[in-house]
Amino acid sequence: MTDQLRFADSGEAADLAAFLGRLVHYDRAAAVRLQAGGGALAVFGRPPSFEVLAIRTVRLAVPVAAPLDLTVSAGELLESVDEASAAATVPGAVTGPPWTGVLPPRGGWRRLPGLPGPEAIGEALAAAVAEFRARDEALPVQHRTRSERDRIGREIWSRTLGDTELPLRAVHAAQSLGFLRPLRAVVPAPAAAPGSAAPASAPVALLSAGSWLRLRTPYGSVATRRPGVTGGLGALQVRPV
Is 151 a domain residue? Answer: no
CATH of the domain at 4: 3.10.150
Contact yes or no for 54/37 (Cβ under 8 A): no
SS (H, E, C) 88-134: EECCCCCCCCHHHHECCCCCCCEECCCCCCHHHHHHHHHHHHHHHHH
SS3 212: strand
Selection from 29, 28, 26, 80 nearest residue 54 by Cα: 26
pLDDT of residue 147: 93
Residues of the chain with pLDDT under 50: 1, 185-192, 199-201, 230-232, 234-241
Distance CA 57, CA 196 (A): 5
Query: Which are the contacts of 147, defined by CB distance < 8 A and separation ≥ 6?
Result: none
Is 24 a domain residue? Answer: yes
Distance CA 6, CA 27 (A): 26
Is 48 a domain residue? Answer: yes
Is 130 a domain residue? Answer: no
Q: What is the domain range of residue 13?
A: 1-113+180-241
- How far the first Cα of the chain sits from its last, in Å, is 18
Distance CA 31, CA 80 (A): 14
pLDDT of residue 226: 85
Is 174 a domain residue? Answer: no
Contact yes or no for 128/157 (Cβ under 8 A): yes
pLDDT of residue 197: 52
Is 175 a domain residue? Answer: no
User: How many structural domains is the chain composed of?
Assistant: 1
For 126-230, list the strands marked E by DSSP: 205-209, 212-217, 220-225
Distance CA 136, CA 145 (A): 10
pLDDT of residue 229: 59
Distance CA 221, CA 92 (A): 25
Is 161 a domain residue? Answer: no
Selection from 178, 162, 155, 160 nearest residue 170 by Cα: 160
* pTM score of the predicted model: 0.84
Single-letter amino acid, residue 184: R
**Residue-wise pLDDT tens digits, 73-93:** 999 999 999 999 999 999 999
**Residue-wise pLDDT tens digits, 204-228:** 999 999 999 999 999 999 999 986 6
pLDDT of residue 188: 45
- Which residues pair with residue 224 across a beta bridge? 213
Is 140 a domain residue? Answer: no
pLDDT of residue 8: 96
Contact yes or no for 15/68 (Cβ under 8 A): no
